[in-house]
Amino acid sequence: MSKLQQGMDMIIDTFYKYAGTDKDKSTLSKAELKELLTKELGEYFGGLCNDPEALNKILKDLDTNADGKVDFQEFITMLTCITMMCNKKVPKKK
């Protein structure tokens, strides 16, 4: 399996690791989202997750269908945006 395929599997596994802690195993609740952001993306979200207002804003911004949860597509959109922001900071190789 290529590194890219391994990375894709890791993203899928990570989402379902946290989505599986409550009754709905296909979405992230606010608590599950907070745990995922803190444990897996702490460098980017760690401090924000301790601020209830900031966490509510993150959830609202991610929750494009306004169901109060983050589904896999909404999660992938977030990861894509973060990856694009990180890519801008990495010096390009010649």
pLDDT digits (tens, 9 = 90+) for 10-65: 999 999 999 988 888 999 999 999 899 889 988 877 677 778 888 888 889 999 99
Q: Which domain holds residue 68?
A: 28-94
Domain CATH number, residue 42: 1.10.238.10
Backbone phi and psi for residue 70, each to the nearest 5 degrees, phi listed first? -110, 115
What is the pTM assigned to this prediction? 0.83
Q: Does a structural domain hold residue 9? A: no
Q: Does a structural domain hold residue 81? A: yes
> Which ranges constitute the DSSP H helices of 3-65?
3-19, 30-40, 42-45, 52-62
Question: For 72-76, 80-84, 85-89, which range has the lowest pLDDT when averaged over its residues?
Answer: 85-89
Coil, helix or strand for 91? Answer: coil
